[in-house]
């Protein structure tokens, strides 16, 4: 597993001001977050969402049509709740032009690739560029290497992905929808992330690494 990500509760205390456009509600204790998943077909976006929302993993593939909408609420340690409204988009090529429909106004974009597929990593980079060009400037981006359970077949190194994420100001994590590894951490991570003050969003440039331990980047990038 490339990296674990855990977030201590103390970081959660500061209440963040969220962009009203991006999230539906602005109640500091009950946050609603619009989140969109993007990535090549078959990387496991739907499986990640279904693992997170329903705790299930169905190995039979059900190619997404257009986009699916799901929601899930999680409670952070200080009893703040974060309700994720998730757009699980279809990775099939014919839907690519439609993506803005779903990522427009999203507070979080989760860009997924499959660690056994270099092509899917390239596709992920395509999505990152697209979001940088056309997404909301405040959008929080996470880069997710899924199918971490298939590490014997790994073709994309965690190091490369991490470096790419860092360069692009993204939160990086490797997950497995199959084993549930890091799935909750992924969503909690983005939740905490959003919850924190906007000014903290430049965390990736934190100068105190690697000893800081008080901002997210320093927890999740060992």
Ligand X SMILES: Nc1nc2c(ncn2[C@@H]2O[C@H](COP(=O)(O)OP(=O)(O)OP(=O)(O)O)[C@@H](O)[C@H]2O)c(=O)[nH]1
SS3 state of residue 114: strand
Residue 76 interacts with, from ligand X, Mg ion, other proteins, none (CB under 5-8 Å by kind): none
Residue 170 interacts with, from other proteins, ligand X, Mg ion, none (CB under 5-8 Å by kind): none
| From candidates 15, 41, 81, 184, binder to ligand X by CB under 6 A | 41
DSSP secondary structure of 127-153:
HHHHHHHHS-TT-EEEEEEE-GGGGGG
Residue 139 Rama label (left phi>0; alpha psi -120 to 50; beta): beta
Q: What is d(CA 109, CA 58) in angstroms, rounded to the nearest whole number? A: 24
How many residues belong to the site for ligand X (CB under 6 A)? 23
- Contacting range for ligand X; rule: CB under 6 A; set: 61-69, 79-87, 126-134, 199-207: 61-69
CB of 174 to ligand X, least distance (A): 10
| From candidates 91, 135, 189, 191, binder to ligand X by CB under 6 A | 91
Residue 98 interacts with, from ligand X, other proteins, Mg ion, none (CB under 5-8 Å by kind): other proteins
Applying CB under 6 A, does 47 fall inside the site for ligand X? yes
CB of 59 to ligand X, least distance (A): 4
Residue 149 interacts with, from ligand X, other proteins, Mg ion, none (CB under 5-8 Å by kind): ligand X
Q: What is d(CA 167, CA 155) in angstroms, rounded to the nearest whole number? A: 20
Which structure tokens are listed for 169? 């100001």
Which structure tokens are listed for 1? 């597993």
Interface with Mg ion in residues 37-66 (CB under 5 A): 45-46, 64
Phi and psi at 123, nearest 5°, equal: -65, -40
CB 42 within 8 A of CB 91: yes
Binding site for other proteins (CB under 8 A): 40-44, 46, 50, 60-70, 88, 90, 92-95, 98, 101, 113-114, 117, 119-120, 123, 147
Q: What is d(CA 81, CA 182) in angstroms, rounded to the nearest whole number? A: 19
Applying CB under 6 A, does 59 fall inside the site for ligand X? yes
Applying CB under 5 A, does 190 fall inside the site for Mg ion? no
**Burial track 118-137 (b if 16+ CB lie within 10 A, e otherwise):** eebbebbeebbebbeeebbe
State the residues that interact with Mg ion by CB under 5 A: 45-46, 64
């Amino acid at each position: 597993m490339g990296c674990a990500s855990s977030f201590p509760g103390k970081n959660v205390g500061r209440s963040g001001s969220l962009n009203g456009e991006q999230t539906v509600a602005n109640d500091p204790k009950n946050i609603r977050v619009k989140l969109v998943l993007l990535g090549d077909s078959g990387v496991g976006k739907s499986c990640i969402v279904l693992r997170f929302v329903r705790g299930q993993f169905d190995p039979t593939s059900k190619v997404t049509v257009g986009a699916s909408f799901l929601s899930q609420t999680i409670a952070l340690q200080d009893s703040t709740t974060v309700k994720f409204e998730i757009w699980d988009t279809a990775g099939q090529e014919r839907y690519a032009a439609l993506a803005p429909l779903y990522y427009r106004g999203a507070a979080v974009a989760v860009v997924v690739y499959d660690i056994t597929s270099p092509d899917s990593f390239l596709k992920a980079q395509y999505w990152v560029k697209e979001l940088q060009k056309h997404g909301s400037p405040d959008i929080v981006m996470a880069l997710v290497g899924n199918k971490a359970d298939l590490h014997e077949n790994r073709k994309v190194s965690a190091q490369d992905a991490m470096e790419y994420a860092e360069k692009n100001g993204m939160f990086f994590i490797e997950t497995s929808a199959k084993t549930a590894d890091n799935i909750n951490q992924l969503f909690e991570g983005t939740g905490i992330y959003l919850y924190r003050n906007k000014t903290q969003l430049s965390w990736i440039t934190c100068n105190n690494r690697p000893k800081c331990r008080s901002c997210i980047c320093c927890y999740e990038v060992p």
